[in-house]
Chain A
Amino acid sequence: MSDRPVVLELRGITKRFPGVLANDHIGFDLRAGEVHALLGENGAGKSTLMNVLYGLYHPDEGEILINGEPVRIHSPKEAIERGIGMVHQHFMLIPVMTVAENIVLAAEPRRAGVLLDYVSARKRVEDIASAFNFAIDPQALVENITVGQQQRVEILKALYRRADILILDEPTAVLTPQEAQELFGILRGLTREGMSIVFISHKLNEVLEIADRITVLRRGKKIETLPVAGATEEGLARLMVGRDVLLRVDKATPKPGDPLLEVEDVKVLDDRGLEAVRGVSLQVRAGEIVGIAGVDGNGQTELVEALTGLRSIQAGEFRVAGRRLTGSSTHRILESGIGHIPEDRQKRGLVLEFTLAENLAFHEFDRAPSSYFGWLRPGRLISRARRILQEFDVRGGGPQTPAKSLSGGNQQKVVVAREVANDPRVLIAAQPTRGLDVGAIEFVHRRLVEERDEGRAVLLVSLELDEIMSLSDRTLVMYEGEIVGEFGPDATEQELGVAMLGGTLDEEAVA
């Protein structure tokens, strides 16, 4: 591998933003036919570096060499001309146009100078797709294809423009595990054809799976470039975060007490009016974490919404500490001792335009001492927020900073802090670590265990099996709206996986 020619080299790239050194003399090289992963936490400077390469930012210092030749790249157009293609995290496709139209956009084959030559556009897209073994229908409308397929369209766009260097910015963030595997297959195919790929990620297992070499960035600096052989998740995590990270959660044996959350035969409809939760019963006792595992879309979301009053319950009932809350308003349920970390912190968990103090006051603002008889006390909100932000080590802003200017990890800390500060008896955490990097995941996990040890009942809903297995004292598996299995703390991934697909081990043995 190391004998392959270097197609791209970045030397001493420095990029300053007001008050921040986003890239500090970073060096990086990419060899022909390799996948070189750029690993780092959110805000480590990965995207800035690649935006410099793609001509979106101009570096303050440093130089870029392509095939050994120093170049200056002033715009994405110039980057494309030099064979660099970038697939952004958020796709830039036009939903109402076909795959082929999207791919040739801005570089259309033409007839008579002005007319789109759709036939040859489709033909060329088909040629490229078959050359690289992509399964995609050029005539399909982009709005009708899956996210994974849309990503392939983005990659094809780069190939159509004759890119030989491909930058992928967090490509798996939007994909299911199966789609991610398909993507890796495609990437391997591309490198065999001589493409060189920069793979930006903060997920350790993916990087170990797909990359040939790994460069770790931390706080704008390059920490190390290392070959994938011999690298471990623990080692990479330490390089990323700068200290030892507990990838496994350390926890004492649970001391469960009285049942605090009791759910009996609850039935809930989804948005289309179909029964999404079909008679779920469960109990969570004080001092234990109960995990609900399952493939996305098996009724977990609806169950959580029902338990927090966001969705009406058709049948059955639930109690918190013996108090019946079926049919109560969200307001009343929250007051009765349920804390809820929602699965989508940006859509639900936070008002992004609100300051942190205002966000932290979400369950507090209408009570003394945050307000008296409808009069808000902004000073109280701020001093309370300052205390909480300090306790939960939220960085990147103070009480008066708008929530939207925080990183994802810190935003989630704010949500967790708010729910815990409300002193709930039952804490419902739905996908509490989605989109977070290792340091933040560690924080959230540790905190959930601490809350358990405080004597709260914790209901954890997650699509990440690892998370369920490392945190739960008991695991329930949800499949098609029902609880199909209960497992102790020593359940294996295989057992859970089979139950998640609606089977049992015996059945699989028969099949």
Chain B
Amino acid sequence: MTSGPTAQQPAAAPEPESLNAAERLARWQRAGGVVAPVLTAVLAFLAGGLVVLATGHSPIKVYAGIWNGTGLEWFYEVGSHRVGLPFSDATLWFPWDTASRSAENLQQTLLLTSTLILTGLAVAFAFRCGLFNIGGQGQYFVGAYFAIWIGSSFGELNSFVHITFALVAAALAGAAWAGIAGILKATVGAHEVITTIMLNWVAYYVGLYLFGQGGPLQNELQPFSPTSNAVVEGARLPVFWGDPVLQGLHVGLFVALAALVAFWIIINRTTLGYEVRAVGFNPEAARYGGISVARNYFLAMAIAGVFAGLAGAIDMLGWRFSIGFSDIQSSTIGFVGIAVALLGRNTALGVGLSALVFGALVNGTATRNIPVDAFEIPEQAGNLSLTIQALVLLFIGADIVILYLWARAGQKLRVGTSSPL
């Protein structure tokens, strides 16, 4: 009996040469997981270029301006420099100039990236449990409020203790806020999209009340400006790169990177992550297997809230230092987190990279970075920024189309490869 080819392999065949068809397919799909988001981003920028072209300007000039504004060119400006070691007087040789113009731009990009990593993880973690957390913005607010309140009070505390206290309180506040939606989902089945949106508005109006004119947490020294008290010196996150006075890069970046690692470990290396993923993929099967679906809905939302709450805290303690009426009204960073998570495919590495893309995009398209001659009116640059962000979101829709086509191609493959018994 001549048997079919590789499909006949016994179960475990570790050598790469003798991959069976199923493993080959799995590889393809994994490759698809990388290709599609990259294509998405590229297509979005191409379409953005067409928009610029349609307004009669040079997309190349504009994109060059954006690129320079992101500060990412810093990485290839290699030279020989002596730079100061952070938090000390020592200097040492370093191939990059840490004080150049592009270094300053890069600091701003990374400042945004840090926050976006956290708001992105807030969406991604819930997503892994099958929940669509639209409430990142509200959880960010709640975290920010607690960070401001604690950061502007307790001035007598030791700096390290003060910062830790503020971060932990903000994380717990975010967890509690998101946990409300989790509990409602777990107990009465209220849809998390609806409840998180409502909680966003509650957080928004609570902020306007707290820090607005006559609010309980309004600035004591300036009773006529609707803003909070400032975070005291000791509660501010240390700046390790750039000028602390001019929004240098603070250690919140490491909080965000640690959160990425924590996300990966929880999802892939803990029983909690196993349960969350099982519920996310197939709640019926999870229930059948004895996993409590309700408990995981709650925990996944609460953990998502921790990430978003931390995002609010590092913004407040890292560079904003106070929150005003208009800051609350104009804040959208929690929503950008949705785009970050979707483009990053809800994985740790993906969220990290897509947060960098979005951070660079938002910073690069800031009005000051677009060449003056590219637009008559500088504000157009900001509109372009929003346009490109919108296009990326749109193309994430296209991303799903690409995936669908990919899956269809995969299915055709599978018809042939599903192995005989």
Report A's interface with B, CB cutoff 8 A: 15-22, 41-45, 47-48, 51, 56-57, 218-221, 241-242, 308-310, 329-335, 340, 342, 347-354, 358, 361-363, 365-366, 371, 374-376, 378, 386, 389-390, 393-402, 405-407, 409-410, 437, 439-440, 443
Contacts and interface: CB of A to CB of B under 8 A. Distances in A.
Given A351-B282, A386-B11, 7 more contacts: A17-B413, A219-B3, A351-B281, A363-B290, A395-B421, A405-B22, A407-B421
Given A19-B5, A48-B415, A386-B12, A376 B284 contact: no
Contacts of B24: 18-19
A20 B287 contact: no
30 contacts: A19-B5, A19-B19, A20-B5, A20-B21, A41-B421, A43-B420, A48-B416, A242-B1, A329-B290, A329-B292, A331-B290, A342-B288, A347-B282, A347-B284, A348-B282, A349-B285, A351-B286, A354-B277, A354-B281, A361-B274, A376-B273, A390-B12, A395-B9, A396-B418, A398-B11, A400-B23, A401-B26, A407-B419, A409-B421, A439-B421
Given A18-B413, A397-B22, A401-B26, A352 B281 contact: yes
Nearest to A409: B421
Given A48-B415, A396-B20, A330 B271 contact: no
B414 interface: yes
A68 B334 CA distance: 67
A393 B420 CA distance: 12
Contacts of B25: 405
B54 to A, nearest CB: 33
B61 interface: no
Nearest to A18: B24
A365 B415 CA distance: 32
Contacts of A342: 288
B291 interface: yes
Contact of B288 (A16, A45, A340, A397): A340
A440 B285 CA distance: 22
Nearest to A389: B11
Nearest to B3: A219
B278 interface: yes
B307 to A, nearest CB: 19
A479 to B, nearest CB: 26
Nearest to A40: B420
Contacts of A57: 412
B269 interface: yes
Given A365-B271, A395-B421, A51 B415 contact: yes
Nearest to A413: B421
B6 interface: yes
Contact of A42 (B19, B269, B421): B421
Contacts of A440: 421
Contacts of B290: 309, 329-335, 363
Q: List the 9 closest A-B pairs by CB distance, nearest first.
A: A17-B416, A22-B416, A331-B290, A396-B419, A397-B22, A219-B4, A405-B22, A389-B11, A362-B289
Contacts of B421: 41-43, 241, 395, 407, 409-410, 437, 439-440, 443
Contacts of B412: 17, 56-57
B270 interface: yes
Given A310-B288, A353-B281, A398 B26 contact: no
Interface string B380-421: 000000000000000000000000000000001111111111
Given A17-B21, A17-B413, A398-B23, A42 B420 contact: yes
B11 A397 contact: yes
Nearest to A45: B416
Given A376-B271, A376-B274, A20 B288 contact: no
Interface string B1-42: 111111111111110000111111110000000000000000
B291 A351 contact: no
Contact of B417 (A20, A47, A308, A329): A20
Contacts of A395: 7-11, 419, 421
B349 interface: no
Contact of A43 (B274, B284, B286, B419): B419
Nearest to A309: B290
A390 B9 CA distance: 12
Contact of A407 (B269, B284, B418): B418
Nearest to B286: A351
A408 to B, nearest CB: 9
Contacts of B6: 19-20
A362 B272 CA distance: 13
A390 B12 CA distance: 8
B386 to A, nearest CB: 35
Contacts of A43: 7, 418-421
Contacts of B285: 347-351
B273 A389 contact: no
A376 B14 CA distance: 22
Contacts of A334: 289-290
B291 A352 contact: no
B6 to A, nearest CB: 4
B281 A349 contact: no
B373 to A, nearest CB: 51
Contacts of A394: 11
Nearest to B289: A362
Contacts of A347: 282, 284-285
Nearest to A443: B421
Given A47-B415, A395-B10, A395-B419, A310 B26 contact: no
Contacts of B19: 19
Contact of B22 (A331, A396, A439): A396
Contacts of B269: 375-376, 378
Nearest to B19: A19
A389 B12 contact: yes
Contacts of A18: 21, 24, 413, 417
Given A352-B281, A374-B272, A376-B270, A398 B13 contact: yes
